[in-house]
Amino acid sequence: GLLRELGSRIRFRGPLTVAEYMGLALTHPEHGYYMRRDAFGRAGDFTTSPEVCQAFGELVGVWCVAAWEALGRPARGRLG
């Protein structure tokens, strides 16, 4: 399985980065979390808020406007 694949890669190539590990764990063609089945939606492991209703997105928008106004409505801003 995936554990064997990871062990083999580490033995032959050395340590994996977190990005490499997560890439394999999530998208390995045979054993990856997202490749075996649909993880999203009511039948999956979790339902994201936009699938439930649009209120979450609207609330994020309201929060963004409130934060912008609290900063004095700057003409330019930087995210991140």
For 17-30, write each residue's pLDDT tens digit.
Answer: 999 999 999 889 98
The tens digit of pLDDT for each residue in 41-78 reads 666 666 666 666 778 788 889 999 999 999 999 998 88
Amino acid identity of residue 37, one-letter, is R
Q: What angle do CA 53, 56, 61 make, to 5 degrees?
A: 130
> From CA 45, how far away is CA 29, in angstroms rounded?
19
Say what the pLDDT of residue 53 is.
74
* Integer-rounded Cα radius of gyration of the chain: 20
The model carries a pTM of 0.49
